Amino acid sequence: MTNFLIRIFVRNYKDTTSPKVRKSYGTLASLFGIISNFFICMMKFFVGLLFNIISITADAVNNLADASSSLVSLIGIKLSNKPADSDHPFGHARIEYIAGFIVAIIVAALGIVLVFTSIQDIIQVATGEKVINKMTTVEFIITISILVISILLKVYQSLFNYTIGKRINSSVLKATAVDSRNDVIATSSVLIGTIVCQFVNLGRVSLDGILGVLVGVFIAISGYKLIIETADPLLGKSPDIEIVNEFTKKVTSYEGILGIHDLQMHSYGPSCIFATCHVEIDSKMDVLKSHDLIDNIERDCKDDLKIFTTLHMDPVVLNDPFQDELKKEVLDIIKEFKFPCSIHDFRIVKGETHTNLVFDLLVPMDEKLTDNQIKNLMVEKIKNINSTYFAYPTIDRDYTNRLKLDK
């Protein structure tokens, strides 16, 4: 059913990196959410008001909020596809992250409201302020049917949003999918409570209230996790390791590229990524030839990976026995470190009384040792090799977790 709807409403649905296609996907998911949630809301309002069932009426309000969330998602996706302008030269794609953040806050808020509402219900029943009445057979059948239909629609909603969210890498739709899953749990608790209360006399114990507290806590925790997840891209989260791996393989696949380092990636939306890095080439390669090679790589990365790339050329001296031997000794030293690391831009400056070793040392972003501590450790260990060796390491932090790829 999902693939059928996609084929009908999304033109060129396979090109998920295209902003226009992503917009069509997002619009489809949001409109489906608005229509289906409003339909579920009206069914529950009808039953809740007609039979005076507060728990179902409250669940209807929850579905109305879901429809509002889908509307927020639709607005967010529409705005995120606005073209770049002078005030926002990198586009507006991050609005999608903001929309996902708003949805996450709504989820958390609904969980908290459900907890307090359920506690109030427990107190009212315990004090005798509220009496739990049995429904007639017709009322019971209608109520159960509406709840079952609602659960089935919510299950499909969750799968629908997750499928599309994963396909276009949308944090908004993934957050909405989790919200739909939470609604399945919430409505299932109402269903269980309705059945038990119909056939079991619990006296002054509100089973609906107890289940509501548990479900509310679960939804609030899920909302909190979603807030953290959707806030990460806004704060500058490290890029997905799969994207880093794909980019690395792409750049190093060209003949003449010996390696890359100093890679940084900045995301301005799921389909708007900027990357900068240094590429190593043989120092003997003709400069015009190497410049042409880099131009080709930058263009291909933009066309094939949709990554706007800027490359810096680093010439590397090859087949120098003395330098190669010193580099090997430095590599042996860093193998003893407790944290993963690598070196690049290695070069030597020979003198009559001493030799300078100049290189960059890449270390994990979360390594607790300071740059100066790591630098001093490196200098000391190289000094132990030969007292005439003077090390001048520059400490680089791993912004893209590339060290994980080297394990």
pLDDT digits (tens, 9 = 90+) for 343-398: 998 999 888 889 999 999 999 988 999 999 999 999 999 999 899 999 999 999 99
**321: containing domain:** 241-404
Q: Are 251 and 257 in contact (CB under 8 A)?
A: yes
Residue with tokens 């330098």: 323
Quote the CA–CA distance of 278 and 295 in Å, as a whole number: 13
Give pLDDT, residue 89: 82
Q: Supply the mean pLDDT for the chain.
A: 85
Q: How confident is the model at residue 131 (pLDDT cuts 50, 70, 90)?
A: confident
**389-398 vs 342-350, strand pairing mode:** unpaired
User: Is the same domain home to 190 and 285?
Assistant: no
Q: Above 70 in pLDDT, residue 184? A: yes
Residue 62, C-beta contacts closer than 8 angstroms, at least 6 positions apart: 110, 114, 183, 186
Token pair of 94 as six digits: 């991050």
Q: Domain boundary residue among 235, 267, 283?
A: 235
Give pLDDT, residue 237: 80
User: Is the same domain home to 83 and 212?
Assistant: yes
User: Is the same domain home to 212 and 311?
Assistant: no
User: Is the same domain home to 204 and 353?
Assistant: no
Give pLDDT, residue 406: 61
pLDDT digits (tens, 9 = 90+) for 225-238: 878 877 888 887 88
Residue 269 sits in a domain whose CATH number is: 3.30.70.1350
The Cβ of residue 311 has, within 10 Å, a number of other Cβ atoms equal to 19
User: Is the same domain home to 227 and 323?
Assistant: no
Residue 84 sits in a domain whose CATH number is: 1.20.1510.10
User: Is the same domain home to 271 and 357?
Assistant: yes
Mean pLDDT computed over 86-106: 80
List, as own/partner pairs, every contact residues 252-258 make where C-beta atoms lie below 8 angstroms and the sequence separation is at least 24, other chains included: 254/293, 254/296, 254/297, 256/281, 256/282, 256/285, 256/289, 256/290, 256/293, 257/281, 257/293, 257/297, 258/282, 258/316
Among 131-135, 199-203, 251-255, 352-356, where is mean pLDDT lowest? 131-135
User: Is the same domain home to 264 and 312?
Assistant: yes
Residue with tokens 């806004």: 234
Quote the CA–CA distance of 80 and 93 in Å, as a whole number: 4
User: Is the same domain home to 124 and 146?
Assistant: yes
pLDDT digits (tens, 9 = 90+) for 259-273: 998 899 988 876 678
pTM above 0.85, yes or no: no
